[in-house]
Chain A
């Protein structure tokens, strides 16, 4: 089943996404048209967001890095989360902002010291995120730093969380990004260096994982600069396609700009 959260008639609502694309309220079964809602982050109580840097063999090559021997993990703030078909901003006066299409594993059960063999028991399902980065802001301190990776609304996620049973094997899923309809990023999860079971074991050896925690597993090669007016679609085969509209910083913040 696909689980989403939307704002409908001013209220946040948990829905399932039916085969025909209609949304079905989990409260009263009402069927709702997608055009009548605002999509929200599909994880109801988002917790700790882990993201992986340089976790695709091809992307590490693209950035001229040796593939890491240990996962490069960073944390993202929950202020970064937004939903499907939402605006994301390009900061003023920068040179290079790119998307990063990523498979996200959502934790469904509390665990510590989880062995790799049991890791999948702790995954509720999967979603897609676009882990935007602003390369101008990189500095060599806790890199990638919060200024690059924890900005408001710059991690759209969704459209839904799909149960892991409905996806099955995740070791060879196509990962694609289209900008304004043009294919700009194409890869496969087969190139992932540290896979989901490894990451669950690794992270839970350090700290307790809890329902609502998320692991964004990194992105393949194919980075491209984004400009206001662009729309970007990040898609993971069998999981979903996430659309984001790029706007200016002023458009995004409105009165708060």
Chain B
């Protein structure tokens, strides 16, 4: 609930967009309760109580008044909108991005994708958002970017945008046909399929080399 300077409207996140995870889950997708692979982007909200900032300490989750057994983190590039974006084609979609920032999605482990994961994903302060937006014009080849995450200095995840099921442009187009995006809205486009396990007190840093940086820590 710490006021962040960038996301003011809605933060839409895309799950299962890591192609490695998506391919590895094919058997699972065909079993109950899913029964078949998703044909559309799998989306969830990080609501306003989750929004936080660069440098923020993330509260360790509690479950039934007890500290949660485990938490995980995934980092994603966030498309930040600076103008209304309604029903756009993939070919023009990137023109609607004002720029890009990073988000850390702290949550309980992703054990199921069947029902909306309110308990896991809606924890207070669990979506710190980068302090800066890199203007879209400063990025030459978006799909060539990689988000790298370290925990206490050790690399735990690298997520190249080249490894996604759907490109940023495709996602903007599809989502803009469901919901009109407004200035101050954001889409987190690609989290690594294997979320990194974190412990109380851990320091989590994600970056896009020379462009974006996001530092957070977990409370004790």
Contact = CB atoms under 8 A, between A and B. Distances in A.
A140 B37 CA distance: 9
Contact of B34 (A74, A78, A140, A209): A140
Interface string A75-113: 101111000000000000000000000000000000010
Contacts of A80: 179
B56 to A, nearest CB: 15
A137 B174 CA distance: 13
A147 interface: yes
Given A140-B114, A142-B113, A151 B42 contact: no
B5 interface: no
B135 interface: no
Interface in B82-140: 86-87, 113-119, 122-124
A47 B118 CA distance: 15
B124 A112 contact: yes
Given A47-B48, A112-B124, A210-B48, A142 B40 contact: no
A150 interface: yes
B180 interface: yes
The interface size bin for chain B is 35 or more
B179 A142 contact: no
Contacts, number: 105
The majority secondary structure among interface residues of chain B is: loop
A47 B1 CA distance: 12
A75 B124 contact: no
B10 A79 contact: yes
Given A146-B12, A146-B178, A146-B179, A48 B47 contact: yes
Nearest to A78: B10
Most buried by B among A48, A74, A80, A142: A142
A142 B115 contact: yes
Given A140-B114, A150-B179, A208 B124 contact: yes
A256 B124 contact: no
B10 A77 contact: yes
A75 B48 CA distance: 11
Interface in A127-173: 137, 139-147, 150-152
Most buried by B among A48, A73, A78, A147: A147
A151 to B, nearest CB: 6
Contacts of A142: 15, 42-44, 113-117
B123 A207 contact: yes
B109 to A, nearest CB: 16
Contacts of B44: 75, 142, 146
A27 interface: no
B43 A75 contact: no
Contact of A256 (B38, B50, B87, B123): B87
Contacts of A65: none
A75 B42 contact: no
A77 B179 contact: yes
Contact of B116 (A47, A75, A210): A75
A73 B45 CA distance: 12
Interface string B29-42: 00001111011101
A145 B40 contact: yes
Contacts of A210: 1, 48-49
B10 A73 contact: no
B118 A206 contact: yes
Given A141-B34, A141-B114, A206-B119, A75 B39 contact: no
16 contacts: A78-B9, A79-B179, A139-B39, A140-B34, A141-B34, A141-B113, A142-B43, A142-B116, A146-B45, A146-B179, A147-B43, A152-B180, A207-B49, A208-B124, A253-B86, A253-B87
Interface of A: 47-48, 50, 72-75, 77-80, 112, 137, 139-147, 150-152, 203, 205-210, 253, 256-257
Interface of B: 1, 9-10, 12, 15-16, 33-36, 38-40, 42-45, 47-50, 64, 86-87, 113-119, 122-124, 178-180, 182
